[in-house]
Amino acid sequence: MSNKKSPLLNVKGVLAGGKQNMVIILAAVALFFVFYLINPSFASDLNLNNMAKSFVPYAILALGVTFVIATGGIDLSIGTVCIGSAVLAGAICRTGVALEDGILWLTIPIIVLTGTVFGLINGLLVAKCKLAPFIATLGTMLVSRGLTSVVAEAVRETSSAVKYPTVGWFQDIFVKYNGFPVGLLWVLALTVICMVVMYKTKIGRYILAIGSNEEAARLSGIDTDKYKIIAYVIGGTFAGLAALFYTAANPSLTIAGGNGMELDAIAGVYIGGTSTTGGAASIMGTILGSLILVIIRNGLNLALSGGSIVSATNITYAVTGVIVVGAVMLDILKKKNAAKVKIPPTAEKKAEASKS
């Protein structure tokens, strides 16, 4: 985004994302239709609910990490922080399958706060200790996985899975109420909040400014360290929030789990058009990117349900990979084109003349 004169006025760049969103929406609709034709059960009530179940936690993880990616960073710890926080809270509150076991309500603040704390640690490591985000969050990924497991083992004196109730108010609030996938409403609400924060507040604008050109942002008086920390705190807190929805849908959690979840979420962000180098972020794109991943995963699964020697899961990996690479290539092409247009022909000639 070095071509932008003022990184602070990035709203235009955000609106430009609208075109990409349209493309993703079209692709999602087309995919939905293709999968529906292959197997009409794809659009069944049962399957739509199942899609919502897998979409919600990943979408929330992706929303949070969009802020981190917007600063030009990355957060590899969100997957293990997500599962780790639920494991920790479940162990401390001694939750079990039956509703009366343990103090279920108390897990909610513990889960979210654990996420926030790990986000804060990431932020401090990156902003204050100047660690590369990849290394800092790789460390937190391992620490969150190990530490929460150790505490859970010590408290429960076993390393078996942490369990939550399978039905009850926890599910009614986070997964499904009377057959309606309430998780989607939460995603909608969080999306709106994220859009406001990203585009309408100082926090979002400064985060984008840092991603565009950190040095320029610092020189124009932005406390870059503070806003970087805020971005990671948002990422961590959303990992905690995602854990609520994940746990309600999957009430048994392996301790030391969550590996690979972050990559699915990050893939969604990239597909949605948020720049890999920061500076431009599309909240709507993140949601649509996550949606398209879920459609592909679920659709392939049903399309291949008749039995096949190749596993639908493995095909999904391959397809996701191709799409992520494609989406990032688009981002690069977009920038290249933008850069070309900006250079007036005379300037180009001048540059050539000075070279020779």
Partner 1 sequence: MKKLLALLLALVMVAGLVACGGGEATPTTTEAPVENPTDSPAQEDPTDAPVAADKGTIAVIAKGETHAFWQAVKAGAVDAGAAAGYEVTFRGPTAESEEYVPEQREMVQAALNNDDVKGIVLATIGLGFADELTAAFDKGLPVVEFDSGLYDNNADVTAEKDPTIGSVATDNFAAAGVVAENFYAYLKNNSLAVDGYKIGIIQHDSTSTGIDRAGGFKAKIEELAAADGITLDINVQVKANNEGEYKLGLSALKDWGAQSIFMTNEGVVNEVFPEISTNADAYKDILFAGFDAGTNQYTWMKDAGATYALLVGSVAQDSYNIGYKAVEMAINKLEGKEVSDVGIAGVWYTAENIDEQKDRNIFYMG
Residue 191 binds to partner 1 (criterion: CB under 8 A) = no
Applying CB under 8 A, among 190, 249, 283, 287 the residue interacting with partner 1 is 249
* Contact call for residues 256 and 162 (beta carbons, < 8 A): no
Least distance between partner 1 and beta carbon 344 (Å): 23
Least distance between partner 1 and beta carbon 8 (Å): 27
Phi/psi for 57 (5° steps) reads -60, -40
Q: 177 - beta bridge partners? A: 180
Among 262, 266, 281, smallest CA distance to 207 is for 281
Applying CB under 8 A, among 9, 142, 167, 188 the residue interacting with partner 1 is 167
Residue 149 binds to partner 1 (criterion: CB under 8 A) = no
Among 65, 52, 111, 8, smallest CA distance to 232 is for 65
Helix axes 45-70, 183-195, angle to 10 degrees: 20
Residue 219 binds to partner 1 (criterion: CB under 8 A) = no
Least distance between partner 1 and beta carbon 52 (Å): 11
Please give the Cα distance from 285 to 268 (Å, whole number).
8
Per-residue binder mask for partner 1 (CB under 8 A), 26-45, x = binder: xx--xx--x---xx-xx-x-
Q: Choose between 133 and 257: whose C-beta lies nearer to partner 1.
A: 257
Applying CB under 8 A, among 8, 99, 143, 166 the residue interacting with partner 1 is 166
Question: How many C-beta neighbours within 10 Å does residue 106 have?
Answer: 13
Which span (117-125, 192-200, 213-221, 300-308) binds partner 1, by CB under 8 A? 300-308
* Contact call for residues 206 and 104 (beta carbons, < 8 A): no
Residues 6 or more apart in contact with residue 340 via CB below 8 angstroms: none
* Contact call for residues 149 and 159 (beta carbons, < 8 A): yes
Please give the Cα distance from 335 to 68 (Å, whole number).
20
Applying CB under 8 A, among 216, 319, 328, 338 the residue interacting with partner 1 is 319
Interacting positions 322-351 with partner 1 (CB under 8 A): 322-323, 326, 329-330, 333-334
Would you call 180 helix, strand, or coil by DSSP?
Answer: strand
Residue 161 binds to partner 1 (criterion: CB under 8 A) = yes
Least distance between partner 1 and beta carbon 3 (Å): 19
Q: Provide the residue type at 216 as one letter.
A: A
* Contact call for residues 172 and 182 (beta carbons, < 8 A): yes
The beta strands (E) that lie in the chain are given as: 162-163, 252-253
What end-to-end distance do the CA atoms of the chain give, in Å? 28
Residue 313 binds to partner 1 (criterion: CB under 8 A) = yes
Applying CB under 8 A, among 54, 114, 224, 290 the residue interacting with partner 1 is 54
Residue 60 binds to partner 1 (criterion: CB under 8 A) = no
Question: By CB under 8 A, how many residues form the interface with partner 1?
Answer: 63
Phi/psi for 350 (5° steps) reads -60, -45
* Contact call for residues 13 and 4 (beta carbons, < 8 A): yes
Applying CB under 8 A, among 95, 122, 282, 298 the residue interacting with partner 1 is 298
Least distance between partner 1 and beta carbon 339 (Å): 15
Which span (102-110, 135-143, 243-251, 341-349) binds partner 1, by CB under 8 A? 243-251
Residues lying near partner 1 in the complex (CB under 8 A): 19-20, 23-24, 26-27, 30-31, 34, 38-39, 41-42, 44, 46-47, 49-50, 54, 83, 97, 161, 163-164, 166-167, 176, 249-254, 257-259, 296-298, 300-313, 315, 318-319, 322-323, 326, 329-330, 333-334
